[in-house]
Amino acid sequence: IVNSFLAGLQQTDVVVERIRVRPVNDYAFPWTSERFFDTMPDSVLAKPAPLQPFTLQHSRYDLVVFAYQPWYLSLSIPANSVLALPNIKEVLKNTPVVTLIGARNMWISSQEKLKKILEPLGSRIVGNIALVDKTNNLVSVITILHWMIGGKKTKYLGVFPKPGVQDEDIKNAEVYGRTVYDYLQDGDYTGMQHKLFSQGAVDVKANLLFIEERAPRLFSIWANFIAKRANRKAWLVVFKYYLLFALFIVAPVVLTVNMVLFRPFFMGLVSRKKAYYAGLREKI
């Protein structure tokens, strides 16, 4: 996704400095189930991890493109860790930011957390591109786990769709890079997010929005509880089965009830929320 986006942004008159954030204890791919669930508490609690050293070539930049993944509806551990560094905070001060997200399908909660980190630095997000797996929510749970733990981006059992962001959508990220390039020339990003939205760079689905506004609280309870336990591994197993039960049993029931009994009466509010999270309005 990053390579494709930069192919559109990095023209002859634009110099791009690229930093890849690597934890000291890096994440091997494919993942193990144990390591995957073990990241939950530190992701949700924004606990930074030691990073391998890197050097910035400049102290100020015209634009920062912050590319990241959401983990458990929060910023990933590498993302939280680099944002905690004093030199990165200094670079971000009063600097416009474009976020480039690769996610299964939920990214709103992590984006809102990032806004709170940037706000005291005088920085703001002027553009957001969020590429997601467009298949059904429950189907993508199965296919993503197949990919992450199996290590191959193939059709599970030969019948499920390929996991993750589609190749066509990844290739199309170059279009978004060119759009950012156009606005970078003048240093005025007014209207850029509307342009990106019209190009399909971001989409907010009402059913996923309903989950994202409620699930972070549950993750926070679990994260705080597990972080204080001496038998962390045992409780992570409990959390694993709770999460699967919540995803496949509880969520479909709750979403159906919301869609039938509540959403029809709050269509205006839902529309405002979708526009806000898509970056098309300042407030809900």
- Token digits of residue 71: 């983990």
Say what percent of the chain tops pLDDT 70.
Answer: 100
pLDDT for residue 262 is more than 80: no
Residue 33 · residue 70 · CB < 8 Å = no
Confidence at residue 126, expressed as pLDDT on a 0 to 100 scale: 98
How far is 72 from 67, CA to CA, in rounded Å?
A: 17
The predicted-structure confidence for 222-232, as pLDDT tens digits, reads as follows 999 999 999 99
Paired residues of 101 in beta bridges: 68, 130
Strand ordering across the sheet containing 97-103 = 64-68, 97-103, 125-132
- The answer to whether residue 275 scores a pLDDT higher than 80 is yes
In angstroms, the Cα distances linking 141 to 35, 119, 164 are: 17, 33, 10
Query: What's the pLDDT score for residue 111?
Result: 98
DSSP for 252-273?
HHHHHHIIIIIGGG-HHHHHHH
Say what the pLDDT of residue 189 is: 97
pLDDT for 90 equals 96
Lowest pLDDT segment from 105-119, 199-213, 250-264:
250-264
pLDDT band at 259 (very low <50, low <70, confident <90, very high): confident
Average pLDDT over residues 155-184: 96
pLDDT score for 255: 85
pLDDT for position 103 = 97
pTM > 0.85: yes or no: yes
State residue 245's pLDDT score. Answer: 94
Phi, psi of 144 (to 5 degrees): -65, -40
User: Residue 267's pLDDT is what?
Assistant: 85
First and final C-alpha spacing in the chain: 30
Per-residue pLDDT at 261 exceeds 80: no
Residues 71-102: tens digit of each pLDDT: 999 999 999 999 999 999 999 999 999 999 99
